[in-house]
Structure 1
Amino acid sequence: MENVNQTVINDANTVFEKKDDKYFGYKSRFGDIVIGGAYSYRFVVHYAKTNQDVVIISGDVNTVTTPVCTTLEERLWKPEKSAQARRDEIVEMAKVDVENLKAYGKQSSRSTRLGKMTYREYYYSVEFKVSSNKRKVSALIYPIGRLGFISGRPIHVGRAKAAPDDCFNVHIGKAIALRRALGLVVPDEYLNAPQPAEVRVGDVIEVTLDSGEIEKKPVISLKAGSLNAHLPGRIIQYPSHYAKIINDSREEVGE
């Protein structure tokens, strides 16, 4: 049985190892998960729905299983779930992804010398540069030396920019930029996240007035069918169906 399980592991594209309620990256043929990085069951189920040959090594080293969607998970991921709910889950997935990648802190570097390809591992530090106005995020990777000092120049840079018609979300942007900086695959969910359909406190909205003037303001409160946004020296109320959400990062309100 052990040989059969080892064959399954060897043939799998991606392997997670289950420890308590966490799933740790064990193997990735595509380089799109962090080896040693911790993931939730929800992430593993979602990953397995969009990738082939994914297996789990359970607490018993002689047991290998495939991700099984429980009734709860099926409800969480069923296609008919609302676009807003799917976007919320993708944003949470991006937050966890960024924390895992930052915490891992190792990256392989390739170099060719005397006709031989060599690899070395180094620890790295991540810095993000965010421009909400330009709707873009940059991830800068700095190597950390043996004495713990950070290099003055980044060795890898990844960038992400929202398309003109897309709502900007800094958490999705950070995940895309960081994966690009590390040379990892960017999940399709990040690149094609549904647009927000529900205005919330902290969102930045764009409203076209009757005069044709366009205003971009943060939402400070909500009422049935309308919302309030800041204007210089006063608060103005808009019908919610007039508003286009252009930024749903909501970092200022702790989300």
Structure 2
Amino acid sequence: MKNVNQTVVENANTVFEKKDDKYFGYKSRFGDIVIGGAYSYRFVVHYAKTNQDVIIMPGDVNTVTTPVCTTLEERLWKPEKSAQARREEIVKQAKADVWELTKNGDGVRYKLDAFYHASCEVEFVVNRHKRTVVVLLKGIRTREVYARGIAKAASDDCFNVHIGKAIALRRALDLTVPDEYLNAPQPTEVRVGDVIEVTLDSGEIEKKPVISLKAGSLNAHLPGRIIQYPSHYAKIIDDSREEVGGGR
């Protein structure tokens, strides 16, 4: 007798098998997925938005399967939620995650081995030029660095220090990094405090923080003056907004 999960897999139109942070084609009735081919989380999200009866299988047909998109009405990713709104949710989740993992900012207990734990303070090192966040777990008494983790934004991704901290800390603690941290949608709306990149008519590229917004345009700092850009010229490269209430 077949178990429920095997039946679900057989009835699905498309099945992806999840291994680590990749999704591999397992089955496709439409022939639009390469069996054994590797796909990103972002691709799977897009595919699930536009197709029915798609499931993710966590490595074993006999384990619990996770429905991604079963009917047109029932979707895990609701199409009415904008990329900007989803990103802001993920940033908020990342802030709360760091707060909870560090016991309200007081530190962490790092497992040295089966019998010993070390009380550690958490030190974040942010390098916006390299687009990295490094976390060091330092023993409160010994000052020894017991673990470190790093997060680095891809060259075409918007940097966000809060998401970076959550990723780096989870890696230092050997915890799973949620897919949404690794594949957060890019921001689509400029906000005060964002750092933008603008290419001038001369070809020169400027990177400046946004200090105010007006309809269809935004103001950014330049040495000794303020310049106004049409908002559609701007590429958001950092939406951490720590100076405008970006903290917890």
TM class, shorter-length: 0.5 to 0.7
Name the structure 1 match of 2:87. 87
CA offset at residue 160 of structure 1?
0.5
Residue identity opposite 2:232 in structure 1: H
2 CA distance for matches of 1:157 and 1:97?
17
CA offset at residue 77 of structure 1?
6.3
Residue identity opposite 2:174 in structure 1: G
TM-score of the pair, normalised by structure 1: 0.64
Name the structure 2 match of 1:188. 179
1:232 aligns with 2:228: no
CA offset at residue 108 of structure 1?
1.8
Residue identity opposite 1:181 in structure 2: A
Name the structure 2 match of 1:218. 209
1 CA distance for matches of 2:244 and 2:57?
35
Question: 1:238-249 maps to which residues of 2 (within 5 A)?
Answer: 238-249=229-240
1:108 aligns with 2:139: no
2 CA distance for matches of 1:98 and 1:216?
28
* TM-aligned CA distance change 1:109 to 1:153, over 3 Å: closer
Question: 1:33-48 maps to which residues of 2 (within 5 A)?
Answer: none
1:168 aligns with 2:144: no
The percent identity for this pair of structures is 71
Kindly provide the CA deviation profile for residues 100-154 of structure 1, in whole angstroms up to 9, marking residues without a partner as x: 11117222222xxxxxxx432232210000111211100000123xxxx3x3331
Q: Which residue, out of 133, 139, 152, partners 1:137? A: 133
Structure 2: segments with no counterpart, 5+ residues: 1-55, 59-73
Kindly provide the CA deviation profile for residues 24-66 of structure 1, in whole angstroms up to 9, marking residues without a partner as x: xxxxxxxxxxxxxxxxxxxxxxxxxx999xxxxxxxxxxxxxx
CA offset at residue 177 of structure 1?
0.4
* TM-aligned CA distance change 1:159 to 1:193, over 3 Å: same
Kindly provide the CA deviation profile for residues 48-100 of structure 1, in whole angstroms up to 9, marking residues without a partner as x: xx999xxxxxxxxxxxxxxxxxxxxx999634310000000000000000011
2 CA distance for matches of 1:208 and 1:126?
38
Name the structure 1 match of 2:68. none
1 CA distance for matches of 2:204 and 2:92?
35
TM-score of the pair, normalised by structure 2: 0.66
Name the structure 2 match of 1:6. none
Name the structure 1 match of 2:7. none
Question: 1:17-96 maps to which residues of 2 (within 5 A)?
Answer: 78-96=78-96
Displacement over 3 Å in runs of 4+: 74-77
Structure 1: segments with no counterpart, 5+ residues: 1-49, 53-73, 111-117
CA offset at residue 197 of structure 1?
0.3
2 CA distance for matches of 1:251 and 1:77?
28
Residue identity opposite 1:211 in structure 2: S
SS at match of 1:155: strand
1 CA distance for matches of 2:184 and 2:97?
15
